[in-house]
Amino acid sequence: SQELEQSPQSLIVQEGKNLTINCTSSKTLYGLYWYKQKYGEGLIFLMMLQKGGEEKSHEKITAKLDEKKQQSSLHITASQPSHAGIYLCGADPYSGGGADGLTFGKGTHLIIQP
């Protein structure tokens, strides 16, 4: 089965600093999703990456999928208190048609210090 490892597990960053979160898969990623979760709330969809080398940005968050499609990174520029939360990467375990539940990493807990 596919496993996703996220690093770091937790991160404390001073407001205004940049940061990077990594997600590494034991198998080829056919769809890689980044979500953000605030404590006690559901998951908020951030971005989906499908193609090797793909990069997407939204506001100050950029996500990349490497060429071999086994690693993704999430980069936040000039962090703000609103970026605090738990970041989760999720992956589809299969290629092609049909769907199944996503496999998720354990999450990265991000704290922004003012």
Q: What are the residues binding another protein (CB under 8 A)?
A: 30-31, 33, 35, 40-45, 48, 50, 88, 90, 92-107
Burial classification of residue 97, based on how many CB atoms lie within 10 Å of its CB (0-12 exposed, 13-18 middle, 19 or more buried): exposed
Are the beta carbons of 95 and 32 closer than 8 angstroms?
no
Comparing CB distances to another protein, the nearer of 11 and 48 is: 48
Amino acid residing at 59: E
- Shortest distance, position 94 Cβ to another protein, whole Å: 5
Comparing CB distances to another protein, the nearer of 77 and 103 is: 103
- Shortest distance, position 31 Cβ to another protein, whole Å: 3
Comparing CB distances to another protein, the nearer of 15 and 59 is: 59
* Block residue for tokens 């999928």: 65
- Shortest distance, position 86 Cβ to another protein, whole Å: 10
Cis peptide upstream of residue 8 (ω within 30 degrees of 0):
yes
